[in-house]
A and B are shown apart, each in its own frame.
Chain A
Amino acid sequence: MEAYELTVTQALERLQRGELSCEEWTRACLDRARAVDGRVRAFVQLDEDGALASAREADAARKAGAQAPLLGAPIAIKDNMHIKGRKTTCSSKMLENFTAPFDATVVAKLRDAGAVFLGKTNLDEFAMGSSTENSAFFTTRNPWNLDYVPGGSSGGSAASVAAYETPFALGSDTGGSIRQPAAFCGIYGLKPTYGRVSRYGLVAFGSSLDQIGPLARNVEDIALLLNVISGKDPRDSTSSDIPAPDFTQALGRGVKGLRLGIPKEYFVEGVDPEVKSAVHQAIDRLCAQGAEAVEVSLPHTEYAISVYYICCTAEASSNLARYDGAQYGHSAAGSENIVELFTRTRSEAFGKEVKRRIMLGTYVLSAGFYDAYYLKALKVRTLLQRDFERAFEQCDVIVTPPVPTPAFRAGERIDDPLQMYLGDIFTISVNLAGVPALCCPAGFNAAGLPLSVQLIAPIFSEERLIQTASVHQELWRDKNIRALQI
Chain B
Amino acid sequence: MSHISEEQVRHVATLSRLEFSDAEIQEFSREMNQILDYFVKLNELDTEGVPPGSHPLKTSNVLREDIPRESLSNELALSNAPDKEEGFFKVPQILPGD
Contact = CB atoms under 8 A, between A and B. Distances in A.
Interface of A: 97-99, 101-102, 194-195, 208-209, 234, 237-238, 240, 300, 302-303, 305-307, 309-310, 317, 321, 325-331, 335-344, 346-347, 350, 355-356, 358-360, 362-363, 366, 373, 375-383, 385, 417-418, 421, 433-435, 459
A381 B44 CA distance: 14
B80 interface: yes
A459 B96 CA distance: 52
B51 A382 contact: yes
A382 B28 contact: no
19 contacts: A99-B79, A238-B62, A306-B42, A307-B42, A309-B39, A326-B91, A337-B96, A342-B17, A350-B18, A355-B16, A356-B31, A359-B16, A362-B16, A375-B52, A378-B52, A380-B42, A380-B47, A382-B51, A383-B47
A418 B35 contact: yes
A119 B50 CA distance: 46
Given A303-B42, A328-B81, A385-B56, A360 B35 contact: yes
Given A359-B9, A380-B42, A338 B94 contact: yes
B23 interface: no
A102 B19 contact: no
Nearest to A384: B53
Contacts of B19: 343-344, 347
B72 interface: yes
Interface centre among A306, A330, A340, A434 (most CB of B within 10 A): A306
Contacts of A97: 80
Contacts of A330: 82
Given A359-B9, A378-B54, A343 B35 contact: no
A331 B82 contact: yes
A359 B57 contact: no
A321 B45 CA distance: 32
B31 A341 contact: no
Given A101-B76, A195-B55, A238-B57, A338 B93 contact: yes
A363 B32 contact: yes
Contacts of A331: 82-83
B59 interface: yes
Contacts, number: 159
B82 A434 contact: no
Contacts of B17: 321, 339, 342-343, 346
Given A102-B72, A379-B51, A434 B80 contact: no
Q: Is the interface of B mostly helix, strand, loop or mixed?
A: loop
Given A101-B77, A329-B80, A381 B45 contact: no
Nearest to A336: B92
Interface of B: 4, 8-9, 12-13, 15-20, 28, 31-32, 34-36, 38-39, 41-45, 47, 50-57, 59, 62, 64, 72, 76-77, 79-83, 89, 91-94, 96
A373 B57 contact: no
A417 B92 contact: no
Q: Is the interface of A mostly helix, strand, loop or mixed?
A: helix
Contact of A346 (B18, B42, B57, B96): B18
Nearest to B14: A343
A382 B53 contact: yes
- The 4 lowest CB-CB distance pairs between A and B, nearest first, are A434-B56, A378-B52, A331-B82, A328-B80
B54 to A, nearest CB: 5
B59 A340 contact: no
A381 B92 contact: no
A383 B45 contact: yes
Contact of A238 (B12, B52, B55, B92): B55
A252 B27 CA distance: 54
A417 B4 CA distance: 17
Contacts of A378: 52-54
Contacts of A341: 91-92
A242 B18 CA distance: 42
B54 A309 contact: no
Contact of A336 (B15, B31, B64, B93): B93
Nearest to B51: A382
A358 B42 contact: no
Given A305-B38, A382-B52, A98 B80 contact: yes
Given A234-B64, A346-B18, A335 B92 contact: yes
Contacts of B31: 356, 417-418
Contacts of A383: 45, 47, 50
B87 to A, nearest CB: 14
Given A326-B89, A363-B36, A434-B57, 5 more contacts: A240-B59, A325-B82, A341-B91, A359-B32, A417-B31
A379 B56 contact: no
B56 A433 contact: yes
B92 A338 contact: yes
Given A99-B80, A326-B82, A355 B18 contact: yes
B39 A327 contact: no
A347 B62 CA distance: 36
A429 to B, nearest CB: 12
Interface centre among B56, B59, B89, B96 (most CB of A within 10 A): B56
B71 to A, nearest CB: 10
Contacts of B79: 99, 101
A181 B82 CA distance: 35
Nearest to A354: B18
